Structure 1
Amino acid sequence: MSLPPDPPAITLSERPDWLYLLREFDWLYRYGSSGGSKLIRGHRKRVRDMLSKVVDSGPELRLREPEKKPVVAHLGRALDRGERGAVVGMARALSRVAEALTWEYGYEKVPPALARKYAYCEVLGPRGPVMSERLILGFVLFAPKTTYPQHSHVDIEESYLSVSGAWSENDAAVHAPGSLILNGSGQEHRITTDETEPCLLAYAWIGPEEKLNAPGMKLTGTRKKRVERGI
């Protein structure tokens, strides 16, 4: 008895909601301000150049099993607020595919309190649904009054772009929707969010293929350990 044929592959062009979501990333990284920073301007260009190559190649769409985490209960509110803010196009595009997203933690061990207040989803990268080897695009969602502990990414260049909610990195400033933060390789950062509203950030990672496949994300740990490391 012969086996049934494999189902036909789905291309990105056949699921335009995903294509439009990627175009929102392109628009924000193409027309958003660099604030006069050459480093941020260079990062924006690298992101959009890599994204253009992926989209122009006509990639297949590999939809994974949708999965939710407790923090997804705040996604509706974050999207509602995003659609009334400075990044309305991104918020609306994400809402069109929200039910198909695979939310994850990214760490082997997640403190129980953080597991209820944080998760991320990848939309382009090694874990798909749009395949890319050197670029990851996705979203991270935080509940109100969240502290995302100190951490860093070796050999990975990372940017956060605010979609909804107010947040702070390393207690240095308050960032509103439309703002962008760049973290270089190995740069320690800690995120805190508003006390009453969730926070939704789009993110981009650039790095070697082996690092993006296994980024080795680790929380720095206790304050005592940070002091011992000279942080």
Structure 2
Amino acid sequence: MTLDQEPTPPQTQLRLNDAVDMRYLLREYYDLYRKIASGGSTKIRSHQRAVREAIGRVIKANPPVVLRTPDRLPVTDHLRRSIDLGRKDQMVSMVRALDAVRDDLSWEYGYEKIPKGLAQKYGYAEIAGPKGPIRTTEVILGVVLFAPGCTYPAHAHNGITESYVCLSGAVSENHQGVYTPGSMIFNPPEQLHRITVSDIDPALLAYAWIAPPEILTSNTMNFRRSK
């Protein structure tokens, strides 16, 4: 640097309180897990409370927000339709908050090897977590998108308690029930689950993972054969 050059000011790291749309979306997740019904299940109610408490800690910590280069997948061609459907239902507030940040989302598969057919019909975007724009190890929050007619093979998560909330479309898990906007799917750790999607429209689901930080940081996903 020569004497007549001005020093380059250090870049200020973006944090949650300054990333207004991301913060609003995080608040929507909090409200979602506060308002959605537990169906009288103490396990589901406990999970919902754990998610809210984790989100509360994230908001209080004001963590960094790291915006990655947005990545698309074939399934993201269905995102506009999913958001349009979500604007017509009870999940409209959550869907609007998601729409505000959708250009900043990075979509991925999460598996080292993805079945050829599934690669066209599935993808997820982490919103808060070790790899999400909102950097935290308190919880993993994100959205998963399925194209019409998708079958998401049986899989389980080691040490992770998982829930999905349907934002638009309709899905079935393990052929044991149909979930439409405003309904929750709850999967305890190690529970094998398989998801099928309506042939008519795509399905957009919000998800939350609760586990110790070391598990959230190193989580891997693998398909397993259904029993």
TM range (shorter): over 0.9
- Residue by residue over 1:68-114, the C-alpha shift from the partner in whole angstroms, topping out at 9 and shown as x without a partner, is 10000000000000010111111111101111100010000001110
Corresponding letter in the other structure for 1:169: E
The answer to whether residue 183 in structure 2 is matched with residue 148 in structure 1 is: no
Q: Secondary structure at the match of 2:179?
A: coil
Q: Output the amino acid matched with 1:83.
A: R
8 Å CA contact retained: 2:106, 2:126:
yes
Which residue, 49, 53, 61 being the options, matches 2:65?
61
Count of equivalent residues: 223
Determine the structure 1 residue equivalent to 2:132: 128
Q: Which of 67, 79, 83 is residue 79 of structure 1 equivalent to?
A: 83
Whole-angstrom CA distance in 1 between matches of 2:108 and 2:217: 15
Cα offset for 1:136?
0.2
Alignment RMSD, CA only?
A: 1.3
How much does 1:5 deviate?
4.3
2:69 partner amino acid: E
Select 1:188's aligned residue among 163, 186, 192: 192
Quick one: distance in 2 between partners of 1:130 and 1:208? 17
* TM-score w.r.t. length of structure 1: 0.93
Aligned identity (percent) is: 47
Q: In 1, Cα distance between the equivalents of 2:68 and 2:194?
A: 30
Deviation at 1:128, TM superposition (A): 2.0
Distance 1:43 1:5 in 2: 44
Shift of residue 10, structure 1, vs aligned partner: 1.1
Deviations 1:109-161 (A, max 9, x none): 00111011000000000012111113100000000000000000010000000
Corresponding position: 1:206 with 2:217: no
Aligned equivalent of 2:119, options 115, 131, 150: 115
Structure 1's unaligned 5+ residue stretches are none
Aligned AA for 2:143? Answer: F
The C-alpha deviation readout for 1:36-70, integer Å capped at 9, x for no partner, is 11000000000000100110112221111111100
Which moved further from structure 2: 50-59 or 195-204?
50-59
Pairwise CA distance, 1:216: 1.9
| Aligned-partner Cα distance in 2 for 1:6–1:219 | 45
Q: How far does residue 204 in structure 1 lie from its aligned partner after superposition? A: 0.2
Report what 1:29 is aligned to: 33
Question: Following the alignment from structure 2 to structure 1, what is the Cα–Cα distance between the partners of residues 215 and 69?
Answer: 24
Unaligned runs of 5+ in 2: none
Q: Is the 8 A contact 2:169 2:181 kept in 1?
A: yes
Structure 2 letter corresponding to 1:94? L
- What is the CA–CA distance in structure 2 between the aligned matches of 1:145 and 1:5, rounded to whole Å? 52
Q: Is the 8 A contact 2:58 2:138 kept in 1?
A: no
Secondary structure of residue in 2 paired with 1:151:
strand
Runs of 4+ off more than 3 Å: 1-6
* Aligned residue number for residue 220 of structure 1: 224
Select 2:161's aligned residue among 151, 157, 160: 157
